[in-house]
Structure 1
Amino acid sequence: MKKNLYYHTVFGRKNVIKEFIFNSFLDMASGPRLLLEVFTRTKFGERYFSFSTAIIFTVVLALYPIIASNIPSFDNYAYGREAEETGIGTILSKYFTWYAYLGAFMYQCIKRREEIKREPSVFDFARFSLSTGVVNPAFYDFKINGQTPTPRQVCILLEPAIFLGFGILLAIFQQSLGYLLIFCSIVYSLSWKGAYYKGDQFVMDKIDKLIANEEMVDSFVNGRKPEETRGFETYGKRPENTDFRRKVAESFFENDDDEPVQVF
């Protein structure tokens, strides 16, 4: 495989800070995604779905109402009121939908774990271990502008839209679960949008490298304009002699073993 040193040097620069923030967000989004996708997807990859992570999230979210209910509010301090004692019964009645959802979540996680156990071994090349699962086919029964939705539209729009709708409905009735679902659905949509963005960028990088390889001679050696080289253009001064330009162009390319590649 030819490596275009010119492309990597001139066009291959990356924004390290932007990539760090972007990748950090995708990593942090795994939790909110997990809380939703176990209901809409099946057959996760062995390394994608973590049952232990699901347990940790369940425990943390189960403790949240207890902790939140026993922290005195700002109003109590501002107006000198004493904090009301909150018992388990009060917490359960106030957060009934919260705990019901956690119970359903754990039930779905157990089902997903059992599915993984029944899947063929990843060591026999029978299954992609990082698979994000199989989307419920019912999502493809929806129509967007009269057309069957694409996998991208299902991930970014339809899947989170269901939870967003339920979240808004629950939030209207002052249910804390509603705010959690709204937050998770937004993160879910953005994380999938980010994943597809990374995939698009990777494919475009490969396409641009191929175009740069194919148009290098016409652009650098023959001096053709960008409109004649699919938009590719080389920058900088060039030798006046065509043979010298060709020799310089040859040095732009390397094989994997760093041997120069002949340019014809």
Structure 2
Amino acid sequence: MKNLYFRKVIRRDNMLLKFISDVLQLIEKPPRLLLSVFLRKDFGERNFNIVSASSLAFVLTLPFLGYLFMLIKSGATFGWLSMFNFFWLAFIIAFMFMSYRHHKTMGFSLTKYDFDKFSLKEGQYNLPWDKILLKVNIKDRLSPIIAEVVAEPILCFMIGFVLMIIPFTRGVGILIMISSVIYGLSYLGAYWRSRNSILDRNDERIMNEDMAKVFLGDIDMPELPENTRIKLPPIIPTKKKNKEGLYNQIVVEKRGVS
């Protein structure tokens, strides 16, 4: 049952956190894709596709192509293929190679689909993070959160930091470091949103139960019994007919999923 009083009056968003979460959702896809092809396997169809990977690879190639165009325009020879450019291109090639492997493994088809599969699946870990975290006394229920918010981003950040120290891989290193930070924050935001969603549904359930006691029972306001967990204004109708009518307008039956 949908409780309009809870949704419009009681529930409040932390606007700052919501703004940060919205910004992360706008920018998180490319960094997550960039790292996920190396960190995971067995993706859902709508979480990974070769078109998105190819588009990202093309965008990453644009700075290199722009630099190449300027050198050719100035009459430079093939000396432009410096070690920096070579490793930047090598990283893009490695990214596309892994992306193509995932694409072939998934067996994408426009006319067929296995409807037992979850199309938004974020992939399985390539590394056995559950076993690794268990050795450091991280409980099973916490291991997915620690793996996605801490372990995977830290691993990538360390690799990026090492590459940043080396002059000719500095560009790739900085790219990986920035991506790893956004990667971890994006999963933190996803867990924060999912937790809030569960708590919202639970609070709404509690409010429905306690409102039923107040509006459909024989309780006089403003005093509430000890077993109620909500706060209501003191202008509740006294007549049973009016109480029931108001309750039916506040607590409405859901149509579909909202």
TM-score, with structure 1 as normaliser? 0.77
* 1:243-262 superposed matches below 5 A: 244-245=242-243, 248-256=246-254
Distance 1:88 1:28, change over 3 A: farther
Mean CA deviation greater in 89-98 or 40-49? 89-98
**1:212 offset after TM fit, Å?**
0.7
Q: 1:205 aligns with which of 197, 200, 205?
A: 200
CA-to-partner distance for each residue in 1:56-81, whole Å, 9 max, x for gaps? 22122223235358879xxxxxxxxx
Are 1:180 and 2:175 matched, yes or no? yes
Calculate the aligned-residue CA RMSD, in Å: 3.3
Please tell me whether the aligned partners of residues 129 and 143 of structure 2 are also in contact (alpha carbons under 8 angstroms). no
Q: 2:148 aligns with which of 148, 151, 155?
A: 155
* 1:79-228 superposed matches below 5 A: 88-117=78-107, 123-143=113-133, 145-148=136-139, 150-174=143-167, 175-218=170-213, 222=219, 223=221, 228=227
Q: What is residue 5 of structure 1 aligned with on the other side? A: 4
Query: In structure 1, how many angstroms separate the alpha carbons of the residues matched to 2:225 and 2:193?
Result: 27
Query: In structure 1, how many angstroms separate the alpha carbons of the residues matched to 2:131 and 2:78?
Result: 43
Distance 1:117 1:124, change over 3 A: closer
**1:181 offset after TM fit, Å?**
0.6
Distance 1:122 1:253, change over 3 A: farther
Mean CA deviation greater in 206-215 or 110-119? 110-119
Query: In structure 1, how many angstroms separate the alpha carbons of the residues matched to 2:225 and 2:176?
Result: 49
Query: In structure 1, how many angstroms separate the alpha carbons of the residues matched to 2:112 and 2:208?
Result: 37
Query: In structure 1, how many angstroms separate the alpha carbons of the residues matched to 2:52 and 2:186?
Result: 18
Mean CA deviation greater in 40-49 or 234-243? 234-243
Query: In structure 2, how many angstroms separate the alpha carbons of the residues matched to 1:179 and 1:86?
Result: 27
Please tell me whether the aligned partners of residues 122 and 129 of structure 1 are also in contact (alpha carbons under 8 angstroms). no
CA-to-partner distance for each residue in 1:203-257, whole Å, 9 max, x for gaps? 1111111111111144566345597423x21235223567754553344222247
| 1:151 maps to amino acid | P
List gaps (5 residues or longer) in structure 2: none
Q: What is residue 64 of structure 1 aligned with on the other side? A: 63
- 1:95 aligned counterpart, secondary structure: helix
CA-to-partner distance for each residue in 1:38-57, whole Å, 9 max, x for gaps? 01111111122121121122
Mean CA deviation greater in 14-23 or 122-131? 14-23
Please tell me whether the aligned partners of residues 43 and 134 of structure 1 are also in contact (alpha carbons under 8 angstroms). yes
Please tell me whether the aligned partners of residues 156 and 176 of structure 2 are also in contact (alpha carbons under 8 angstroms). yes
List gaps (5 residues or longer) in structure 1: 73-83, 258-264
Please tell me whether the aligned partners of residues 122 and 128 of structure 1 are also in contact (alpha carbons under 8 angstroms). no
Distance 1:27 1:106, change over 3 A: same
CA-to-partner distance for each residue in 1:4-32, whole Å, 9 max, x for gaps? 22222213466789757633531321111
Please tell me whether the aligned partners of residues 98 and 176 of structure 1 are also in contact (alpha carbons under 8 angstroms). yes
Between the two proteins, the alignment pairs up a number of residues equal to 243
Identity of aligned residues (%): 28
- 1:55 aligned counterpart, secondary structure: helix
